[in-house]
Chains A and B, each alone.
Chain A
C-alpha cells in the first residue's frame, strides 16, 4: 500500500480541487435560496416579520393606550378625512380615527396583532408536535394500531371544524377553562382538537412511503432501534411537507380566531392595561360591525390586517411548497 503523500495537483485537476475547497451547500440551503428567488414569498416573509415585530413591540409603537377613553371624541374619522358622514373632522392624534367611546383605532389594531400572531403560532406548534408524533408512530409501526388510529382520524376529520370551535367556546366559556388567559387557552384547545388529524395523516403518508426505502432497511439491518430510526432517519425527510402544512395552517388559525371573535365567542376584551392580551382583531371587527356607517375604519383596519397577513402566509406557503418539493423528490 502506498503511503499517502502530498500531491501537487496538475493544471487539469486544479479546477476540481478549487471546487472542493468551497464548503458544500446543504439541501436546506438549496431550498432556502430557491425560496428567496420567489419574490412573492419574500414579500410574504417580510410582511409576516413586520407583523411579528408590531405584535412584540405594540406597547412602544402604539401612539395611544388602547384602553384610554377620550370623552366626547367618539367616532372620529381617520386623520386624512376632513368631514365624515357624521360631520366630524379627523384628528392628527388618531391616525385611523376613534371608536364608539373614543379609543384610538390604530393602537387597538396594533395590540390586536399580538393575539392574532399568538393564535396563529401556538396551537400550530402543539398540533405539529402532537400530530406528527402520532403520525410517525402509527405509520412506522403499522398493523392494528395504525388501522385503529386511522379510523379514529377518519371520524374526527369528518367533524365540521367550525361547529366544534363554536360549541366548545360557547359551552366552556364561563367555566374555569374558559377564563384562562382571557379565553385564549380554550381557543387554543379548540383549534388543536380537530387540526391535529391533518398533520397526523400527512406525516403517516410520508412515513409509509419512506418505510420501504433501502436506507431504512439498511439502518434496520445494522440493528438501529426503531425509535432512533424514526427520529434520526425518517423524521428529517418528512419535515418538508410539515413546513408547508404549517405555512397553510397558521392563516387558518388566524381566520378561525377572527371568525369566532366576530361571533362574540373569542377573546374576552380586557380592561386591565397591564394584561398582555388586550384585544384581538376578531373582537375589533365585532365592535366595528355596528358602526359601519359612521366610522367604517373600526371594521376596515382589523379586517385589512387579517386579509394581508393571510395573503402573506399564502404566498409564503406556495413558495415553500415550490422550494421544498422538487428537492425532496430528488433525494429519494
Chain B
C-alpha cells in the first residue's frame, strides 16, 4: 500500500516539472518584458533595465533561469537563492515590493491562517465540496431507490443541466435570478466574515460537481441494486435500512469516490471564474487579475500552486480507491 502511494507521489514530479517548464517557456515567449508592459508609467530607460535584469537574474540564459526558478541559483552577488521547491516563487512584477508567495499565503497581523488568500479559497472549495456531497449523494440514492418516479425525473433533469451547462453560466443565471430579479442577495457583498454571504459562491461552485455526483451515485446504486448479494440480504430478512446502508452503499460508493478527486480538481479551476464573479478575495481572483495585468511571475507562481493542488487531488483519488477496493492494491 505504501509503495503504491509513494509511486503515485513520484509521478507528481515529472508532471509539475512539465507544467512549470511549459509555463516558464511560454512566459518567455510572450512579447515584451516585465519592465515595460505597464501602460501608465514611463518606459524604463535601457541602463535601468539592464540593472533590473541583473538584479533579478533575467540576463542569464533561459535554461539557467529555469533551473534557478525551480531549484535555486547564485544571484549576481553570489548568494545562493533557493527556488520554487523552497517555496520561493519570485517577486511579483506588477505589485512591486511583494513576492508571489507573499501575496498568496500571507496572513494579516494576528489573524489565523484561514485569512490568507489561499485560506479563503480553500474554505470556499471545501464548502462547495461539502455541498456537492451532502446534496448530491442522497439525491442520487433517492433517485435510484425511487426510480422512474417524479423524484427521479426532477433530479435527473437538474443533474443533466448541471453537468452540461458550464458552471459559470449556471452561476450567472443564479445571480440574475436571486440578485437581480428576486433581489434576495446583493451582488456586492458587504463583508466576507458574514457566513451567509458565502452561500451563493459555494453553491455555484459546487453545483456542477453536485449534479455529476448525483448522476453517478444513481447509476452506481442501480447497478448495485440488481446484484445477487442484495437479494440475499433482503431474503435473509434484514431491514431495508440495513440493506441499503450496510450492503448497497459501500459498494456503490466506489465509482463515486473515483471521480471525487477530479471533481476537487474541477473545483480548483472553477474557482477562478466564480471568485471573479463574486469578487471573492481568493487566489483564483488573484490569478485572473494577474492575467489581465500581465504579471508574469505571478501567473507562473499561481499556476504552479494550482498544478500542485490539482495533482494532489488526482492522487488522492488513487489512494482512496486503493483503500476501498483491495483488488487494485495488487497493481
Q: A residues near B, CB below 8 A?
A: 154-156, 158-164, 166-168, 170-175, 251, 255, 258-259, 262-265, 285, 289, 292-293, 296, 299-300, 303, 306-307, 310-311, 313-314
Please indicate which of the listed interface residues B160, B166, B180, B292 has the most CB atoms of chain A within 10 Å of its own CB.
B166
B31, B176, B307: which contacts A296 (Cβ < 8 A)?
B176
B164 touches A175 (CB 8 A): no
Q: Evaluate whether A160 and B306 lie within 8 angstroms (CB atoms) in the complex, with A167-B299, A292-B187 already known.
A: yes
B272's partner among A159, A258, A263 (CB-CB below 8 A) is: A263
- A selection of 10 A-B contacts at a CB cut-off of 8 Å is A158-B311, A159-B19, A160-B19, A163-B19, A167-B303, A171-B296, A259-B273, A263-B272, A293-B187, A314-B163
Task: Return the contact of A299 from the options B165, B176, B269, B294 (Cβ within 8 A).
Answer: B176
From A168, A292, A311, contact of B161 by CB (8 A): A311
Q: Give the residue name and chain of the A residue nearest to B292 (CB).
A: A264
The interface size of chain B toward A, counting residues with CB under 8 Å, comes to 47
User: Which of B19, B265, B294, B296 gathers the greatest number of chain A CB atoms within 10 Å?
Assistant: B19
Q: How far, in Å, is A76 (CB) from chain B's closest CB?
A: 17
Which residues of B have CB within 8 Å of A173? Answer: 30
A231–B262 Cα distance when bound, in Å, is 35
Which of A158, A162, A170, A292 is in CB contact (< 8 Å) with B299? A170
Is the C-beta of B154 less than 8 angstroms from some C-beta in chain A?
no
**B1 lies within 8 A of chain A by Cβ:** no
On whether the beta carbons of A170 and B187 are closer than 8 Å, the reply is: no
Q: What is the bound-complex CA distance between A163 and B306, given in angstroms?
A: 8
Closest chain B CB from A197 CB (angstroms): 13
Partner of B15 from A158, A168, A292 at Cβ < 8 Å: A158
Contact between B306 and A310, CB atoms less than 8 A apart: no
**Interface of chain B, main secondary structure:** helix
Q: Are A299 and B172 in contact (CB under 8 A)?
A: yes
Q: Which residues of A contact B62 (CB under 8 A)?
A: none
In whole angstroms, what is the CA distance A313 to B166 when docked?
A: 13
Q: In the bound complex, how far is the Cα of B27 from the Cα of A168, in angstroms? A: 9
- Per a CB cutoff under 8 Å, which of B11, B172, B175, B269 touches A160? B269
Q: Are B15 and A172 in contact (CB under 8 A)?
A: no
Q: Are B166 and A292 in contact (CB under 8 A)?
A: no
B26-A168 in contact (CB<8A): yes
Q: Nearest Cβ in chain A — how far from B297, in angstroms?
A: 13
The yes or no answer to B61 lying at the interface (CB within 8 A) is no
Beta-carbon nearest neighbor of A162 in chain B? B269
Among B22, B172, B299, B314, which residue has the most Cβ atoms of chain A within 10 A? Answer: B172
Is B160's CB under 8 angstroms from A311's CB? yes
Beta-carbon contact of B15 and A159 below 8 Å: yes
B30 pairs with A310, CB closer than 8 A: no
* Cβ-based interface call for B328 (8 A): no
B292 — which chain A residues lie within 8 A by C-beta? 264
* Nearest Cβ on chain A to B301's Cβ, whole angstroms: 12
Asked whether A175 and B273 contact (CB < 8 A) given A255-B166, A259-B166, A265-B291, the answer is no
B32 at the interface (CB under 8 A from A): yes
Interface string of B264-285 (1 = CB under 8 A from A): 0100110011001100000000
Tell me if B14 and A155 are in contact (CB < 8 A).
yes
